[in-house]
Amino acid sequence: MIPSRHMARHSQTEAIQQAIEVQELAPPSSGLLSSLRHWRHWRHWRQRALIPYLFLLPFLLLFSFFILVPLLYALWTSFFIERLIGGTTFVGLQNYQEVLHDGNFWEGVRNVLLLLFTQVPLMLGLALGLALLLDSQIVRFKTIFRLGYFLPYAIPSVIGALLWGYLYSAHIGPFAQLAELLHWPPPPFLTAAGLLPSIANILTWQWTGYNMVILYAALQAIPPELYDAARVDGASGWEIARHIKIPLIAPAIVLTVVFSIIGTLQLFNEPQIMTAIVPNLIQDHYTPNLYAYNLAFTNQQYNYAAAVSFVLGAVVFVFSYVFMLVTYRRGQR
């Protein structure tokens, strides 16, 4: 076990150095080399040319059947309207035009953007802070902390619903019970004003540990020699973190941000959970994804729901793309 870990560490180290120093240099293409080598063996070469496709076959078959075809089918249906009376008619881009003017859809987008710009920085900041602390040399019992922080990721959202429904309860929840003991009013978790923070809290609870583990793993991959010099120069732990560690794990930070952008804009599970707890506060269009779901399953407007999903997909793409573009530009400077 240990040798393999060392080996992984070394290749990680190399990879990091590559990533930092020679980002623009692409590694030589091995496929080309090998095919040159077998240039004369025509039959052999042809056989080799087929191999990549054969290797990809299992994945591509399943991918086509369970993602590509359903997606294309959904795209196709989004150009139609199916009426309860009178059947299906082709309407071109009409559904998309409606989505763009649909106040419910944009209200949902506003909610998820609000979360994106408040909860995500908070969560990732916390994740980064915890990862740096666990990576620093002043903490012991790291395994316990790391596992404890990561645990919520392993809880299915159905069970998460049960947990938070109880903890947030204004009658039987422990926080309400404590407040009553102190003659305070129950904490306003499940009120119109407290709802978004309550959802943000569930998200933070569930995903901080996951992001922390990604960042922590990246920190662990940094070769320790890199700090030794700084330490000899008298740099404090904070300075090492600020000037060495964070720049080195920037790619990992970018990754967590991109995931969070996608996850937040497609938010579904947590508001769905909260619907079960406070149906009178969460409307059917609280997030765009929840809206698409309710359009399809409650209103039976499958075609319109598909259009909503694709517009949401476009929004996700724009945000992830803009973010990556911005960080890439910065990296270039």
Partner 1 sequence: MNRGLLFCRARGMAKAGLLLLLALSISSYLVACGGTPASSGPVTLTFWSWVPNLQQAIDLFEKSHPNIKIKWQNVGSGGTEYTKLTTALKAGSGAPDVVQIEYAYLPQYILSGKLVDLSQYGANDVKDQFVAWTWAQVSSGGKVYAIPQDTGPMGLLYREDIFKKYNLPVPTTWDQYAQEAIQLHQANPKIFITDFSASDGPWFFSLLWQAGSQPFVVNGTTIKIHLDDAAALKVANYWGNLVKSGAVSTAADWNNDWYAALQNGTLATWITAAWAPSDLEGFAPKSAGLWRVAPLPQWSAGEQASANWGGSTDAVTTQCQHPAEAAEFVKWLNTNPESVKILTQKLYLFPSQKSALQDPSFDTANSFYGGQQVNRIFVESAQQVNTSFQWSPFQDYVFSQLQNQLAEAVNGKISFEQAMHNTQNAVVTYARSQGFTVIS
Partner 2 sequence: MARIGSLPAGGSVAATRQISARTVGRRSGWTLRGLVLLFLVLMLVYFVIPLFWLVVSATKTNDELFSTFGLWFAPDFHLLENLHDVFTYDNGIFVTWLTNSAYYAVVSALGASLIATLAGYTFAKLSFPGRELVFAIILGSIMVPNTALAIPTYLLLSKVGLVNTPLAIILPSLVTPFGVYLMRVYAEQALPDDLLDAARVDGASEWRIFWSIALRLLAPGFVTVLLLTFVGTWNNFFLPLVVTNNPAYYPLTVGLANWNQLSQAFSGSRILYTLVITGSLISVIPLMIGFLFLQRYWQGGLTFGSLRS
Under the rule (CB under 8 A), what is the footprint of partner 1? 1-4, 81, 83-86, 165-166, 169-172, 192, 276-281, 283-284, 294, 297-300
List the beta bridge partners of residue 83: 87
Interacting residues of 251 by C-beta distance below 8 A, sequence separation 6+: 19, 218
- Provide the minimum distance between the beta carbon of 74 and partner 2 in the complex, in angstroms, as a whole number: 5
User: Which one, 44 or 83, has the nearer CB to partner 1?
Assistant: 83
List, as one string, the DSSP characters of 11-70: HHHHHHHHHHH-TT-PPPPHHHHHHHHTSS-HHHHHHHHHHHHHHHHHHHHHHIIIIIHH
User: Which one, 198 or 294, has the nearer CB to partner 1?
Assistant: 294
Residues numbered 266 to 325 that lie near partner 2 (CB under 8 A) are: 266, 268, 289, 292-293, 296, 302, 305-306, 309-310, 312-313, 316-317, 320, 324
* CA 128 to the chain's CA centroid: 15
Determine the Cα–Cα distance for residues 55 and 49; give it in Å rounded to an integer.
Answer: 11
- Provide the minimum distance between the beta carbon of 11 and partner 2 in the complex, in angstroms, as a whole number: 5
- Provide the minimum distance between the beta carbon of 268 and partner 1 in the complex, in angstroms, as a whole number: 15
Site stretch for partner 2 (CB under 8 A), options 50-58, 86-94, 105-113, 277-285: 50-58
Q: Which does 13 bind (CB under 5 to 8 A by kind): partner 2, partner 1, none?
A: none
Does 184 bind partner 2 (CB under 8 A)? Our answer is no
The helix-helix angle for 195-220 and 157-168 (nearest 10°) equals 130
Contact predicate 95/79, CB 8 Å: yes
User: Which one, 95 or 264, has the nearer CB to partner 1?
Assistant: 95
Neighbours of 211 (CB within 10 A): 27
Determine the Cα–Cα distance for residues 244 and 236; give it in Å rounded to an integer.
Answer: 11
Neighbours of 262 (CB within 10 A): 13
Site stretch for partner 2 (CB under 8 A), options 54-62, 108-116, 117-125, 192-200: 54-62
Q: Which does 246 bind (CB under 5 to 8 A by kind): partner 2, partner 1, none?
A: none
Site stretch for partner 2 (CB under 8 A), options 56-64, 84-92, 101-109, 116-124: 56-64
User: Which one, 173 or 263, has the nearer CB to partner 1?
Assistant: 173
- Provide the minimum distance between the beta carbon of 167 and partner 2 in the complex, in angstroms, as a whole number: 6
Contact predicate 132/245, CB 8 Å: yes
Contact predicate 135/240, CB 8 Å: no
Question: SS3 for 85?
Answer: coil
Site stretch for partner 2 (CB under 8 A), options 25-33, 85-93, 100-108, 192-200: 25-33
Site size for partner 2, by CB under 8 A?
A: 124
Contact predicate 124/215, CB 8 Å: no
Q: Which does 279 bind (CB under 5 to 8 A by kind): partner 2, partner 1, none?
A: partner 1
Q: Report the greatest alpha carbon distance in the chain.
A: 88
User: Which one, 150 or 175, has the nearer CB to partner 1?
Assistant: 175
Q: Which does 300 bind (CB under 5 to 8 A by kind): partner 1, partner 2, none?
A: partner 1
